[in-house]
């Protein structure tokens, strides 16, 4: 990453002022910001369950890598000393090695499984992992997802879903999104 490349990050905190349940950090994708459907609904679900949510809004550098994403995750958590959970979309999965180092339970939404550093980061995390992706997403690798499932990760694979978990067909996208929200809500609720 060059020193002249502009990088802007800001946080939007939602939920209770006191995070009695814990802090959920939401890392977006490159163009899939926290106000996009899946992240917005997941955020509201977490708030409803009593989580303090910190949405990270960034303009990722072209050369975004695991070091950059890991630093973004660490900065977003800051000096929080309670439970931390992570919801990361696509580019946010570059934070997998940092999440593993900190042993954060993490939900990886359309993770970049074709990148060795991402898959290895997820595999090395001893905390609970939820991977969500679709078979029509070029960033999703079913074989890697199943290997990670064999190592203890929970996997939700949606047939025909693309990188936004959209599916061709009448009501198919709504059904796929609803399935993600159902599974994410259960996953998050089981860790309260």
pLDDT in tens, 136-177: 999 999 999 999 999 999 999 999 999 999 999 999 999 999
Structural domain harbouring 124: 9-189
pLDDT of residue 1: 44
Question: The whole model's pTM is what?
Answer: 0.93
Say if 94 falls within a structural domain: yes
pLDDT of residue 108: 98
Say if 1 falls within a structural domain: no
The per-residue pLDDT of the chain, averaged, comes to 93
Say if 142 falls within a structural domain: yes
For 9-32, write each residue's pLDDT tens digit.
Answer: 899 999 987 667 899 999 999 999
Say if 2 falls within a structural domain: no
Say if 3 falls within a structural domain: no
CATH number at residue 122: 3.40.50.1820
Percent share of the chain, pLDDT over 90: 89
Say if 179 falls within a structural domain: yes
Residue 105 confidence (pLDDT) above 80:
yes
**HSE-up of 119 (CA within 13 Å, CB side)?**
15
Say if 107 falls within a structural domain: yes
pLDDT of residue 43: 97
User: Count of domains in the chain?
Assistant: 1
């Amino acid at each position: 990453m060059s020193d002249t490349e502009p990088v802007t990050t800001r946080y939007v905190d939602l939920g209770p002022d006191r995070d009695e349940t814990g802090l959920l950090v939401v890392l977006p994708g490159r163009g899939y910001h926290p106000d996009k459907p899946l992240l917005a609904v997941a955020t509201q679900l977490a708030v409803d369950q009593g989580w303090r949510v910190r949405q990270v809004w960034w303009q990722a550098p072209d050369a975004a890598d695991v070091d950059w994403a890991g630093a973004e995750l660490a900065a977003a958590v800051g000096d929080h000393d309670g439970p931390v959970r992570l919801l990361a979309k696509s580019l946010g999965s570059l934070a997998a090695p940092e999440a593993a180092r900190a042993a954060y339970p993490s939900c990886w939404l359309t993770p970049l499984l074709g990148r060795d550093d991402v898959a290895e980061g997820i595999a090395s995390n001893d905390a609970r992992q939820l991977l969500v992706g679709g078979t029509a997403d070029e960033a999703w690798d079913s074989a890697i997802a199943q290997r990670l499932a064999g190592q203890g990760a929970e996997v939700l694979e949606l047939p025909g879903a693309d990188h936004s978990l959209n599916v061709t067909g009448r009501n198919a996208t709504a059904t796929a999104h609803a399935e993600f929200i159902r599974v994410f809500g259960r996953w998050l609720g089981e860790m309260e």
